[in-house]
Structure 1
Amino acid sequence: MVQTAPNGILKEDLYLFNEGSAHHSYRFMGAHPIQMDGIEGVRFTLWAPNAAEVRVIGGFNDWDGSSHRMDRVGSTGVFSLFVAEIGEGELYKYEIITPEGKVIRKADPYAFFGERRPGTASIVADLNGYAWKDEEWYAKKQAKPVYTNPLLIYEVHAGSWKIKGKEDFYTYDELAEDMIPYVADMGYTHIELMPISEHPLDQSWGYQITGFYGVTSRYGTPKQLMQFVDKCHSFGIGVILDWVPGHFCKDDHGLRLFDGTPIFEGPDPMRAEKPLWGTLGFDFSRNEVVSFLISNAIYWMDMFHIDGLRVDAVASMINLHMDKPPHMHTYNYLGGPDNLDALRFLKKLNETVFHYYPDTLMLAEDSSAWPAVTSPTYIGGLGFNFKWNMGWMNDMLRYMALDPSERSHHHHLITFSLLYAFSENYILPLSHDEVVHGKRSLLNKMPGTYEEKFAQLRLFYGYWMTHPGKKLLFMGSEWGQFDEWKDSDMLDWMVLDYDSHRTMHQYVKTLNRLYSNQPSLWERDNNPDCFQWIDVHNAEQSIISFIRRGNSDFSVIVANFSRNDYHDYRIGVPEPGLYRSILNSNDLQFGGTETQPQLCYRSENVAWHGHNQSISLHLPPFTFLFFILEPGDTH
């Protein structure tokens, strides 16, 4: 017999919530329009274990909760109340009487929607009833495992991709109209949205959240977001959400000291504080917090059909000392700096997500050296299926910023990553973090003249696209935006009127298409056999050459990171035949200098680089070349 608590909540659900295993707690926590005894109304349910009393306040009672006291549900720490004859659209908050008798007002941690800032009230929203049309997309996902298929992510900040004016944002509907066809035309497989949970400060970019279940009202309603995701799927584009389970902001209406005590952040301020960000970390030892967060991950997939989560700041979650001065260091019971509760949480998170959604992307934004981040939990891993390769990104951006005359002394920066490239399932990120706060845009990191900057960025993108690992590029980088990203202004779309940016844009589009059409670049991405150096040691000339292999094809890549023009540059090739250049970054159509670059090279019976065959090339400065062997054409 199913047992119910007051207002129709199942006792089993509350038990699982207290135990840390309520994977769908959003279905009974928060504000839900329901019918009770034939009467329409809203059921409010809240976790506030140390509160002396809780009331619901809103427009329906003139923000006076004296007649709407919530009922305490046993010893669960949960309060609940059914309010008759109200429904969707009602503004509300919780008025909490703390153990000391202080009255505080809080937004609903489980609110699905809220007032647009600076307002802080929650809004009753019914998320049911949207008619999804993405069955074909889900069938395609199941048929094409992402490990052996292209993954090319376009990272987007919805508040600055395009805007209509100062703080006059595009809605989800308007973004769908403009952004989705653009992303599809450019050849990206996924859009990654920087956080769209409700947050009070635009300049936090969504990483300091007050409403983890609330779709930010800046860009529209929850159902408009559903339409955006549905349209992405109709274009064959997946949607990844930046998800921030590591910390939350301290605004009074948020989670901090929620019932007058630290129930979300935990009792130890040295452990809870995140001084670098001015936020508080979650207490992963608290079962109800685990239920809150894991349910939140499932919520985005259940209700919004999100295809994956990029889990922010994993290194900060798992290291108790991360970004903290020595006087704030705390230790686990073994005497070490590892946050054992966070590690358990991440494992449980991934196990739970993959239980319900086996084809989901769980991406760790992790700058630590923690091993086995993308290994299954049953063999000791954290259970993610991809990890950002921060080492590759830092090495390559450091290398590309060097004057070309200095690169021969730092050749290891472009080759070292292959020593560990297959230790995890990696994504190579060129994200928003690399083009802000004085770091300069990707184009402006490149040294040299105006023309050399563009040539080197094309070269860098070529190496990025052909290096093992999936790909991520931040918006605006596809046309070589000169300025840093400005979060309060829209991207510099007007630069596409200039030839250098227009041809860079065309180059990136062509490179994206090449990636998707060449199985050698993704079919065996997590297998060391997919990569073979032709010449890794040519530091003196700052040239590298290598082979990428798929199941039945291969490609040959040559990259010249120097200012020198090399004629008759010879490389070994694995098979005899005619090698056709299908991408040359120095082609005039991409802003290069070659009007009629040589397209085909017949291999010669000249042993070179450990191969019996070789070809002799013209290799201009800052040039990336991509070759395939013409099918059936052999000596």
Structure 2
Amino acid sequence: MVPSNLRVLSPAEACVPHRNQPLTSETEAVSGHLDEGLRRIIEARHHDPFAVLGRHRYSGEERVRAFLPDAEEVWLTETGARLERLPGTDLFEWHGAPGSVPERYRLRWRDRDGGEHEAYDPYCFPPQLPDFDLHLFGEGRHRHAYRIMGAHPLSVDGIAGVRFALWAPNAERVGVVGDFNAWDGRRHPMRIRGSTGVWELFIPGLAAQILYKFEIRNRRTGAVLLKTDPYGRRFEQRPATAAIVEDPPHHDWGDEEWMQARRERDWLHAPMSVYEAHLGSWRRRDDGGFLTYRELAHELVDYVKSLGYTHIELLPVTEHPLDASWGYQTTGFYAPTSRHGSPEDFRYFVDRCHREGIGVLLDWVPGHFPKDGYALARFDGSALYEHEDPRRGEHRDWGTLIFNYGRNEVRNFLLSSALYWLEEFHIDGLRVDAVASMLYLDYSRRPGDWLPNLYGGNENLEAIEFLRQLNQITLGQQPGTLMIAEESTAWPQVTRPTWL
């Protein structure tokens, strides 16, 4: 719904500090004559735009209302009826006899440069996320949260588009932004789903491969943040940070024999020999560029097989901003790094490993995350994924933040990530990084720089419960997979399932 002849802003340009500034006297004068709902739409701070925009019944008549910045004239495509501008605003309104407008209708508009546009109105579609999924997510028991959160191409009533969903409970308003709307967070505000903290919006007409982020206005401070998708399944190459809408997986797997054998494998006693590799430095092209996942599927796999190894352990391939971190400062917990190609390319890599009799282990980092402002840190303007108190929420040595394992939605985020790699990419096991830093509240801290648990001890009880659930869920739902801990202390049985 972006006018084709408008200049498209980059994510960096679209940090929109101007919408965190006081309203002009002209805007205040205009909005002062409107009701509260309309005023909040104009000021980009409405938590439920569906209450104002779209089709509604008022006093025996039907009304359609749209907010289209830069539009000069707007019509209903199906009837040809013109929407009238509310004076001094970018709000347009039509009213007439009930039943005049179909349930799913299109808007046609002419922008200020004469460009013509047409699209289904996002605000004529009902909520798309089932209440039960939201209930499970809030309880921390949704094992496949990635299927409801993030961006997903789908069809609603035969109309193709993309459904966006985000957890940001301390936001006053959230908007989807991208090339399709000039990175303007006013154009596609999302709806909040009750007290869940989850925001959603189905935008008809969008498709896979588009760039997007979320613009979040904090409820308490009014600060406007531009954030990438925590559940993004693909990202731009660094230093760019936008998420990319990804199509549903379509790789034609050929590892059925391997997966069947994995389910029946005596993983507690079977011998294994592991070759550890960082894909970014194992080998480079002559020009210094990265090998692709498909190139590595042949060069690396053939090399490892010739040496007699049974498994390849990959240093983190989860998306990360800094090459020098080797992937241990993750920002994309659901995305293979785009340095080597697409998620489908990574599936090809794993598939060929299995066809050649080689298992794939993944270094996975649920212990901490970086402070990069576009990612998880203070995600909705509050300490959402981390603890507020730095004595619990920050690794002093690493300059990173510590997950709040006691929060249901955070625990759900990480557990779903673990299952995602095992199920969607057929990964054979996870090597959990820096487990000692998760287990001990005083890990690498000076006296007085840590907070004890409720019993006065130094054990991180929430992290212990998280690891227990991680073992239960992964080994229970994906039998034969391995859970490996980088654990530098004497804590016993941190990878042992509770039923053994």
Class of the TM-score when normalised by the shorter of the 2 chains: 0.7 to 0.9
Higher deviation after alignment, 125-134 or 175-184:
125-134
Alignment match of 2:467 (pick from 341, 346, 350)? 346
Q: Residue 87 in 1 paired to residue 207 in 2?
A: yes
Q: CA deviation at 1:350?
A: 0.8
Residue 432 of structure 1 corresponds to which residue in structure 2? none
Whichever residue aligns with residue 351 of structure 2, its letter is D
Distance in 2 (CA, whole Å) between partners of 1:298 and 1:141 is 16
Residue 195 of structure 1 corresponds to which residue in structure 2? 316
Distance in 2 (CA, whole Å) between partners of 1:89 and 1:376 is 39
Distance in 2 (CA, whole Å) between partners of 1:222 and 1:333 is 43
Q: Residue 281 in 1 paired to residue 389 in 2?
A: no
| 1:561-605 residue CA offsets vs partner (Å, 9 max, x unmatched) | xxxxxxxxxxxxxxxxxxxxxxxxxxxxxxxxxxxxxxxxxxxxx
Residue 177 of structure 1 corresponds to which residue in structure 2? 298
CA spacing shift, 1:62–1:328, aligned 2, 3 Å: same
Residue 246 of structure 1 corresponds to which residue in structure 2? 367
Q: Is the 8 A contact 1:244 1:311 kept in 2?
A: yes
Q: Is the 8 A contact 1:72 1:80 kept in 2?
A: yes
Distance in 2 (CA, whole Å) between partners of 1:136 and 1:378 is 27
Q: Residue 53 in 1 paired to residue 167 in 2?
A: no
Distance in 2 (CA, whole Å) between partners of 1:165 and 1:333 is 57
Alignment match of 1:140 (pick from 258, 261, 264)? 261
1:75-474 alignment, distance < 5 Å = 75-99=195-219, 100-165=221-286, 168-378=289-499
CA spacing shift, 1:103–1:375, aligned 2, 3 Å: closer
Q: CA deviation at 1:21?
A: 0.6
SS of 2:470's equivalent in the other structure is helix
Whichever residue aligns with residue 368 of structure 2, its letter is H
SS of 2:127's equivalent in the other structure is helix
Q: Is the 8 A contact 1:127 1:303 kept in 2?
A: no
Residue 67 of structure 2 corresponds to which residue in structure 1? none
Distance in 2 (CA, whole Å) between partners of 1:260 and 1:312 is 28
SS of 2:274's equivalent in the other structure is strand
Structure 1 unaligned spans of 5+: 380-635
Distance in 1 (CA, whole Å) between partners of 2:245 and 2:252 is 20
Q: Residue 39 in 1 paired to residue 166 in 2?
A: no
Q: Is the 8 A contact 2:262 2:480 kept in 1?
A: yes
Q: Is the 8 A contact 2:177 2:184 kept in 1?
A: yes
1:59-74 alignment, distance < 5 Å = 59-74=179-194
Residue 98 of structure 2 corresponds to which residue in structure 1? none
Residue 603 of structure 1 corresponds to which residue in structure 2? none
SS of 2:349's equivalent in the other structure is helix
Q: CA deviation at 1:167?
A: 5.4
Q: CA deviation at 1:378?
A: 4.8
Distance in 2 (CA, whole Å) between partners of 1:10 and 1:110 is 18
Q: Residue 30 in 1 paired to residue 150 in 2?
A: yes
Q: CA deviation at 1:116?
A: 0.3
Q: CA deviation at 1:267?
A: 2.1
Q: CA deviation at 1:23?
A: 0.6
Whichever residue aligns with residue 187 of structure 2, its letter is S
Q: Is the 8 A contact 1:264 1:282 kept in 2?
A: yes
SS of 1:63's equivalent in the other structure is coil
Q: How many residues are treated as equivalent by the alignment?
A: 375
Normalising by structure 2, what TM-score? 0.73
| 1:322-357 residue CA offsets vs partner (Å, 9 max, x unmatched) | 112223111100001100000000001110111211
Distance in 2 (CA, whole Å) between partners of 1:87 and 1:173 is 25
Distance in 1 (CA, whole Å) between partners of 2:487 and 2:126 is 43
SS of 2:186's equivalent in the other structure is helix
Whichever residue aligns with residue 256 of structure 1, its letter is A
Q: Is the 8 A contact 1:347 1:377 kept in 2?
A: yes
SS of 2:457's equivalent in the other structure is coil
Identity of aligned residues (%): 52
Q: Is the 8 A contact 1:6 1:80 kept in 2?
A: no
CA spacing shift, 1:94–1:374, aligned 2, 3 Å: closer
Distance in 1 (CA, whole Å) between partners of 2:365 and 2:317 is 10
Normalising by structure 1, what TM-score? 0.58
1:551-570 alignment, distance < 5 Å = none
Distance in 2 (CA, whole Å) between partners of 1:159 and 1:180 is 15
Residue 53 of structure 2 corresponds to which residue in structure 1? none
| 1:507-544 residue CA offsets vs partner (Å, 9 max, x unmatched) | xxxxxxxxxxxxxxxxxxxxxxxxxxxxxxxxxxxxxx
Q: CA deviation at 1:282?
A: 0.2
| 1:490-515 residue CA offsets vs partner (Å, 9 max, x unmatched) | xxxxxxxxxxxxxxxxxxxxxxxxxx
Q: CA deviation at 1:147?
A: 2.7
Distance in 2 (CA, whole Å) between partners of 1:357 and 1:223 is 21
Whichever residue aligns with residue 14 of structure 1, its letter is L
Question: Once superposed, what is the RMSD of the aligned Cα atoms?
Answer: 1.4
Larger RCO (CA within 8 A; separation ≥ 6)? 2
Higher deviation after alignment, 5-14 or 131-140:
5-14
Whichever residue aligns with residue 88 of structure 1, its letter is A
Q: CA deviation at 1:214?
A: 1.4
| 1:466-513 residue CA offsets vs partner (Å, 9 max, x unmatched) | xxxxxxxxxxxxxxxxxxxxxxxxxxxxxxxxxxxxxxxxxxxxxxxx
SS of 2:472's equivalent in the other structure is helix
Distance in 2 (CA, whole Å) between partners of 1:146 and 1:370 is 21
SS of 2:268's equivalent in the other structure is helix
Q: Which has the larger radius of gyration?
A: 1
Q: Is the 8 A contact 2:471 2:496 kept in 1?
A: no
Q: CA deviation at 1:143?
A: 3.8
Q: Is the 8 A contact 1:127 1:223 kept in 2?
A: no
Residue 391 of structure 1 corresponds to which residue in structure 2? none
Q: CA deviation at 1:370?
A: 1.0
Residue 537 of structure 1 corresponds to which residue in structure 2? none
Distance in 2 (CA, whole Å) between partners of 1:197 and 1:345 is 20
SS of 2:189's equivalent in the other structure is coil
Distance in 2 (CA, whole Å) between partners of 1:118 and 1:142 is 40
Residue 68 of structure 2 corresponds to which residue in structure 1? none
SS of 1:247's equivalent in the other structure is coil
SS of 1:94's equivalent in the other structure is strand
Q: Is the 8 A contact 1:22 1:291 kept in 2?
A: yes
Whichever residue aligns with residue 234 of structure 1, its letter is R
Q: CA deviation at 1:375?
A: 3.7
CA spacing shift, 1:102–1:167, aligned 2, 3 Å: farther
Residue 140 of structure 2 corresponds to which residue in structure 1? 20
SS of 1:260's equivalent in the other structure is coil
Whichever residue aligns with residue 174 of structure 2, its letter is V
| 1:204-243 residue CA offsets vs partner (Å, 9 max, x unmatched) | 1100011111111111100000000000000011100000
| 1:107-163 residue CA offsets vs partner (Å, 9 max, x unmatched) | 000000001000011110123221111111012223431333221010000001110
Distance in 2 (CA, whole Å) between partners of 1:106 and 1:350 is 31
Distance in 1 (CA, whole Å) between partners of 2:195 and 2:248 is 30
Distance in 2 (CA, whole Å) between partners of 1:166 and 1:160 is 13
Greater fraction helix: 1
SS of 1:148's equivalent in the other structure is coil
Distance in 2 (CA, whole Å) between partners of 1:52 and 1:166 is 48
SS of 1:330's equivalent in the other structure is coil
Q: Is the 8 A contact 2:143 2:412 kept in 1?
A: yes
